Amino acid sequence: MKRLLTLFFLLALPSLLSACATAAGAGATAGVAASQERGLGVAIDDSAIHAKIWRLWLDTDPHIFLEVGVDVHEGRVLLTGTINSPQNRLDAVRLAWQVKSVRQVIDEIQVTDEGGVLDYSRDVWITAQLRSKITFDSEILAINYSIETVNKVVYLMGVAQSEAEIDRVIRYARNIDYVRKVVSHVRIKAERLPGT
């Protein structure tokens, strides 16, 4: 069922993107990217890495594309999702490493047959709750965070201004109903990037 929802989303994506582009405009997208800690140039590079990974996955096995999520931040690639084939998990990671400019691949893919529409809906709800909480907290630069939830595990990626900021985000995540675990791959602004 999750695959059907994903396929429906992918089929509807061109229409959604067209509507969003008309409503928001390219300037708004550039403004968001420019205000992120990573800057516009790095955000564009991350988008290119993301697209190349998707392309490799589609060319290799569409199941990987449909079942594995990818977030790219400063050349760091976070892979999440549930997949029922250990080989597809290995392929997803291997192919991500093949893309030029990838500094790090973080494998958080779960190999399991568990999960369904209710679990997927709950994960989306958890992500939305956390995004809302950090967006309306003036002590958090929410724009610098990516959030993925898989089987009630919250994965965080991005750049925190301080240890106190990321602690605040993690505390919000832990206090949301149904959350089993919070995994942070957030870099503190003063830390060096892997591979530099």
Tokens of 184: 């942070």
pLDDT over threshold 70, residue 73? yes
pTM of whole model > 0.85?
A: no
pLDDT digits (tens, 9 = 90+) for 8-43: 444 444 444 444 443 444 443 444 444 467 678 888
Q: What 3-state DSSP class applies to 138?
A: coil
pLDDT over threshold 80, residue 78? yes
Domain that holds residue 104: 1-196
Chain centroid offset of residue 134 CA: 16
The structural domain count of the chain equals 1
pLDDT digits (tens, 9 = 90+) for 120-179: 899 999 999 999 999 999 999 999 999 999 999 999 999 999 999 999 999 999 999 999
Nearest to 53 by CA among 102, 103, 3: 102
- Could you identify the residue written with the tokens 């892979």? 79
pLDDT band at 196 (very low <50, low <70, confident <90, very high): low
Looking at the chain, the whole-number percentage of residues with pLDDT higher than 90 is 68
Nearest to 69 by CA among 154, 180, 191: 154
Q: Which residues touch 57 (CB under 8 Å, ≥6 apart)? A: 64, 65, 68, 92, 95
Sign of CA dihedral 9, 108, 130, 50: negative
